[in-house]
Amino acid sequence: MEHPLGDLMRALNELHVSSSDSLPDAHALPDLNRQHRKGVPEVILAAGKQPEQVVSIAEAFLCRGGRAIISRIGPDLASLLRERLADDHLEFHPLSQMVVARRGTTPPEPTGGRVGILTAGTSDAPVAEQAAVLMREMGCQVSFFSDVGVAGIHRLFQPLHALLSQEVDAIVVAAGMDGALPSVVAGLVDVPVIGLPTSTGYGIGGQGVAALLSMLQTCAPGLAVVNIDNGIGAGAMAGLIANRAARARRA
C-alpha cells in the first residue's frame, strides 16, 4: 500500500505547488505558481524587508513568469529597482506605493471581469488603488470613483448608476472614519460588495477600527469585509468573483 504522503504530494503537484522555490540565501520562499494555482498573482510586500531582499524576490518572479508586483515601496527601494531592473519595464503607481515590473511580457489579456471601486473620501484612495492595480493584473476592467461618502450622499448616486449600467460583477468600497458607505452600497445593489476599511479617522475609533467594526456590524446583506488597509485582499476577492462571473458568461 502506498504511503498517504504520496497521495498528498501528487495532490500538491496538481495544484502547482513547488517546494523548491527558495532563494539562494534562503531568506524567502516565493510562491511562484500562485497565479496559475489561484488566479491571483503573488504580491511582494516590501514593508519590513531589506531593499536587496525585495529585489532578489522580484528577480525570481521575473525569471519564472516575466512579472513581479511589489507593494508598499519607499524611495530607496524605488531607486534600487530602477538601477537593478533597468532592462525591465517598470510601472510605478505612486498613489498606492506599488510597482509592476515586466520582463518580455505584456499586460494581462482582459478576462471580461468587471469591478467597480468606490471610496468614501479622497484619503481612502491610496488603499483602494492597491486593489485596482491587482485587479488589472488579474485581467479585470476596473472603474474607479472617489470621494462619494455619506457626508454628501448625493455624490454617490451618479457613480453607482454608472457601475450598475456597466453590469459590474463586484464592487469594492473603501471607507475610513465611521465606515458607513459599504453598508449603504450593499443595501442598494444586487452584486457582492467588499468593504475595505482604511486607517483614516480620529481619536478612539481612529486607525480604521471604527470603520472595521461598523462594516462587520452591517445589517445590509451581501457585504464581506477585509482587514484594515488590506487593499490587496479586497482586490483579490473582487477579482476572483469577477473572473468567475466572466467565465460563466463565456460559457
Same domain, 135 and 244: yes
| Residue 177 maps to a domain | yes
Q: Look at residue 30 in the predicted model and tell me its pLDDT.
A: 79
Mean pLDDT of the chain: 90
CATH of the domain at 221: 3.40.50.1970
- Please give the Cα distance from 242 to 237 (Å, whole number): 9
- Please give the Cα distance from 186 to 43 (Å, whole number): 28
| Residue 123 maps to a domain | yes
| Residue 2 maps to a domain | no
| Residue 108 maps to a domain | no
Same domain, 164 and 238: yes
Same domain, 118 and 210: yes
Same domain, 55 and 168: no
pLDDT-derived band at 13, boundaries 50, 70, 90 = low
The distance of Cα 101 from the centroid of its chain, to the nearest Å, equals 16
Task: Tell me the three-class secondary structure of 163-208, residue by residue.
Answer: HHHCCCCEEEEEECCCCCHHHHHHCCCCCCEEEEECCCCCHHHCCC
- Please give the Cα distance from 117 to 110 (Å, whole number): 18
| Residue 107 maps to a domain | no
Alpha carbon of 217 to those of 156, 178, 214, 223: distances in Å? 22, 12, 5, 10
127-159: pLDDT as tens digits:
999 999 999 999 999 999 999 999 999 999 999
Q: Look at residue 141 in the predicted model and tell me its pLDDT.
A: 97
Task: Calculate what percentage of the chain has a pLDDT beyond 90.
Answer: 78
Q: Look at residue 19 in the predicted model and tell me its pLDDT.
A: 45
Q: What is the pTM of this model?
A: 0.88
The residues pairing with 70 across neighbouring beta strands, listed in sequence order, are 44, 99
Mean pLDDT for the stretch of residues 180-196: 97
Mean pLDDT for the stretch of residues 24-53: 84
Q: Look at residue 23 in the predicted model and tell me its pLDDT.
A: 60
Same domain, 98 and 185: no
* Residue 2, C-beta contacts closer than 8 angstroms, at least 6 positions apart: none
Mean pLDDT for the stretch of residues 182-206: 94
The amino acid at residue 140 is C
Final residue before a domain boundary, out of 53, 82, 102: 102
Same domain, 87 and 143: no
Same domain, 131 and 82: no
| Residue 161 maps to a domain | yes
pLDDT-derived band at 28, boundaries 50, 70, 90 = confident
| Residue 8 maps to a domain | no
Grid cell in block for residue 9: 504530494
pLDDT at 91 over 70: yes
Mean pLDDT for the stretch of residues 209-227: 96
Q: Phi, psi at residue 45, to the nearest 5°?
A: -80, 115
Number of domains in the chain: 2
Same domain, 119 and 97: no
Same domain, 163 and 246: yes
Final residue before a domain boundary, out of 73, 102, 131: 102
pLDDT-derived band at 34, boundaries 50, 70, 90 = confident
| Residue 70 maps to a domain | yes
Same domain, 238 and 120: yes
- Smallest CA-to-CA distance from 27 within 48, 12, 10, 41 is with 48
pLDDT-derived band at 18, boundaries 50, 70, 90 = low
Final residue before a domain boundary, out of 51, 82, 102: 102
Same domain, 150 and 227: yes
pLDDT-derived band at 204, boundaries 50, 70, 90 = confident
Q: Look at residue 227 in the predicted model and tell me its pLDDT.
A: 97
Task: Decide if 119 contacts 163 (C-beta within 8 A).
Answer: no
pLDDT at 77 over 60: yes
Same domain, 124 and 244: yes
Q: Give the domain range for residue 39.
A: 13-102
